[in-house]
Structure 1
Amino acid sequence: MWAFTKSVLLGTLAAAALPSIFTVTLAIDSLPEGLDGGGRLFPSLWLAILPIVVTIPIVLGTSVLFGLALTVLLKRTEHETAAAYMISGAVLGFAVPLVILLIIGAPEGHWVALLGALSGAVTAHTWWRSAREPNGS
């Protein structure tokens, strides 16, 4: 279970790291006069963590719906390799955000699919490595 959790968390961080630089900067900038700025701490904190809040359900959902099925498929066909996982993860990571953006009618955010590909590759690579370590740690 730890291997799966670790994979999802590292995949989330891979996708959320770059946008977080911007949202944390905006959050700090939006704090008027430090921490006693009229109750605006929560909205600023929310802005800072928003990339993680948005990314984690997507990475988790994709890992559960597609990643675990992919693991079964690769094991049954005896094609389990680091490259197979990483390529599949990158393709899924690219496709899922793109499909979500098309469904919600926001195709201009297509650049997010590149972050998704990075996230998918990191998630898959972490799963490949972590699931093979003794006790999954």
Structure 2
Amino acid sequence: DSVDRTHDSFKEGDVVRVQGFVTTYNDRKKININEGKGAVTPTKDFNLSDFLPQSNKNLAELYSRLLELVDGVKHEGLRALLEKFFKDDDFTKEFKRAPAAMFLHHAWLGGLLEHSLAVALTAREAAKNYAVDLDLLTAGAL
């Protein structure tokens, strides 16, 4: 019954604070949770960088460079579309800290911003050799 109560006190994806003690069983460590109120409690008081690697680049500078690309799009419809995302406070807060992947490249906090900007800049550099619509290329890359 106490296991069910503990299980029902949080949902998948929650970060929880656990009160208990570590023991060893079959050469593996386990946590024995102290029964009672507050033994397992969901919390919003944490920093993702305590659990995940983070970018070593200046994300504010990267984001400023990304906004320069957005502002440089001349096609009104494409620029408006990009601004719906990249000038929305809620979206940008999450975008700036999101990893680009779970493994391999850019798999750290801020990785999505790094990756997106790198793709856009690389595409624009390659476009110097071709007759392409830079506005469409930039929007597609971002």
**After TM superposition, is the score higher than 0.5?**
no
Larger fraction in helix: 1
Question: Which structure is higher in RCO with an 8 Å CA cutoff and minimum separation 6?
Answer: 1
Larger fraction in strand: 2
TM-score, structure 1 normalization: 0.28
TM-score, structure 2 normalization: 0.27
